[in-house]
Structure 1
Amino acid sequence: MTFSFIIQNISATVIGCKYNLQEKTSVSVPDLDAIASQYKVNGFASPIRLLSSLEADQHRKALEDAEAIVGKMHYRSKIHTVLTSPFKLVTLPTVLNIVERIIGPNILLYNVTYIIKEANDRSHVSWHQDLTYWGLSHDDQVSLWLALSPASIKSGCMKMIPGSHKFGRKKHHKIHDTKNILLQGQTVKSVQNKSAVYCELGPGEASFHHGLTLHSSGPNNSRGRRIGLNAQFLAPHVYQTKHDSDSALLVRGEDKYGNFENDTPASINLDQAAIDRQKFLHDRYIKIAGKQ
């Protein structure tokens, strides 16, 4: 099967990121130039259709089938090492083609995580920049956020500040908030909310954003789960500054640097050895992420 996608509202200056509520049964050829232009100007590109609604539902079912066996999958790091569905999604040719236009032909897959807000869940994400707490040496990085259920304003979709990736690294304050999904409550204060853009996504639609783009999200006030698959891609010259045993996976091109240990993608679902390894990697991430 060949995957491609529909681009909507893809002008260089984003007016809005509104998804189409109509059922999407097919996807079309990407305009990589338009995506790259929007990303360069705004620090994100959205919405971009990667899957039909039916395909998104199938991948959601794969997630929820796994949850029925091992429990909730929210915020588990390196989930592509224990489930086949997320690895298939983040290595779609269309995904890697977009990533290549942004960071170049050599691509490492750094992490894959489901970010899930349950129905009527008050959890939120404060204003932050991803790269301030990942410990990565350079900003040659791009994040994918793929919706497997409706991500609307009501259900707590992401908000972005256009152009904020050009501001440099902002000071983050660690604020104790039990409803903040971020591990250390990292928060940038005094963000100009008036310039924020809601990035609403329908099932099968995605956004790509820069690691210095200011973003946040509100609670899920809807009756359904808000399910997103989040992935980070790096150029191989990027390295970890907090410790010397981080891991990644080459998914396109070549790696002349060897800055990361090698992750192994899942070939079957929920292999016990893979689960044990994933737990180790996840626990290490929990200890390190958020420490500026």
Structure 2
Amino acid sequence: MVGTLDAAQIKTYHDKGFVAGLPAFTSTEAADLRHRVEALEADHADGTAGYDLNQLFRVNGHLLIPLLADVSRSPAILDQVASILGPDLLVWSVELFIKEPGTQSIVSWHQDITYWGMGETDEELTAWIALSDVSVQAGCMRFIPGSHKNAIVAHEDTFDEDNLLSRGQEIAGIDESTAEHGALSPGQMSFHHGRTFHASSPNNSDDRRIGLAIRYVTPGVRQSAQGRDYAMLVRGMDKENGWIHLAGPQRLFDPEDVALYREVLNHQTTTLAADAEGMVDLYKTEGAT
């Protein structure tokens, strides 16, 4: 099947906890996706439906923005994800990470799955797609090979304003000399495990660094804290009926989808902001009624 991973790539993922340089879109397609993202920024600079656009880009944007839902259903991406997770796939979250050129925005060392309430499952991965040139200079992701074989480790909330993570969470004591870069050209993607230690540095390039992170899970994953969670079935079946299925947005910022967005966010916020010592602004649930 075109788009599936080969044996060496699958082995790299299982051995290192990540694999980079995978094809998702052509450079032309990536440029078009970027243009459409930036058109949304221009058209909704003041937010919409009572929410700041940055929150919608970073938290469950696939419920309100058809573009993000459509990307997560791309056959070229799903074929490769299925090589790792199998034929039955759900999308739990889609997020845009944007670093402006010459800014100090970072992502500190962390494990994605720490606050997701799913335990230490192996039945998930993040597909991170570059919509711009995500070079070392632009602050591409760095990974600690093999760190996914650890359990979930302690994270400290910093709430650093330059940290793109929701609570500025970070792992202390990382030996950065062992890190490997995951530089990507426009249209390429990487996969990483939810327990893999990873981070990214400031964007010292002359262009924006734009990446799209899609969190895929299997029907076997369970939300241990809040019971059944919400996800969008994108391939195969959920024979276990362990998730509340979402169809995806009807149209851009549709009022019925906004109401559903609020319901999902209300459900997830308790888990995502658990034990935080400060306000986690990305998970604010208030919006227009």
In the superposition, the TM-score normalised over structure 1's length comes to 0.84
Identify the residue that residue 143 of structure 1 maps to in structure 2. 126
Identify the residue that residue 40 of structure 1 maps to in structure 2. 14
Paired residue secondary structure (1:174): coil
User: Can you list the C-alpha shifts for 1:24-43, whole angstroms capped at 9, x where unaligned?
Assistant: xxxxx554323211111111
Identify the residue that residue 88 of structure 1 maps to in structure 2. 70
Identify the residue that residue 171 of structure 2 maps to in structure 1. 188
Identify the residue that residue 246 of structure 1 maps to in structure 2. 229
Letter in 1 for 2:62: H
Residue range with higher mean Cα deviation, 114-123 or 141-150: 114-123
Matches within 5 A, 1:162-241: 162-241=145-224
Distance in 2 (CA, whole Å) between partners of 1:233 and 1:30 is 16
Identify the residue that residue 285 of structure 2 maps to in structure 1. none
Residue range with higher mean Cα deviation, 91-100 or 125-134: 91-100
Paired residue secondary structure (2:70): helix
Residue range with higher mean Cα deviation, 70-79 or 86-95: 70-79
Q: How many residues are matched?
A: 266
Identity of aligned residues (%): 33
Matches within 5 A, 1:1-292: 30-71=4-45, 72-73=53-54, 75-137=57-119, 138-244=121-227, 246-282=229-265, 285=268, 287-291=270-274
For structure 1, list consecutive stretches of 5 or more residues without a partner in the other structure: 5-28
In the superposition, the TM-score normalised over structure 2's length comes to 0.85
Flag the 1:281–1:116 CA change in 2: closer, same or farther, 3 A.
farther
Flag the 1:155–1:250 CA change in 2: closer, same or farther, 3 A.
same
Distance in 2 (CA, whole Å) between partners of 1:200 and 1:211 is 19
Residue range with higher mean Cα deviation, 280-289 or 34-43: 280-289
Q: Tell whether the 8 Å contact from 2:233 to 2:247 is kept in structure 1 after alignment.
A: no
Flag the 1:258–1:279 CA change in 2: closer, same or farther, 3 A.
same
Distance in 2 (CA, whole Å) between partners of 1:39 and 1:57 is 27
State the 1:152 CA deviation: 1.4
For structure 2, list consecutive stretches of 5 or more residues without a partner in the other structure: 46-52, 276-289
State the 1:111 CA deviation: 0.6
State the 1:162 CA deviation: 0.9
State the 1:100 CA deviation: 1.3
The Cα RMSD (Å) is 2.1
Q: Tell whether the 8 Å contact from 2:90 to 2:232 is kept in structure 1 after alignment.
A: yes
Q: Tell whether the 8 Å contact from 1:183 to 1:286 is kept in structure 2 after alignment.
A: no
Distance in 2 (CA, whole Å) between partners of 1:31 and 1:190 is 33
Q: Tell whether the 8 Å contact from 2:226 to 2:268 is kept in structure 1 after alignment.
A: no
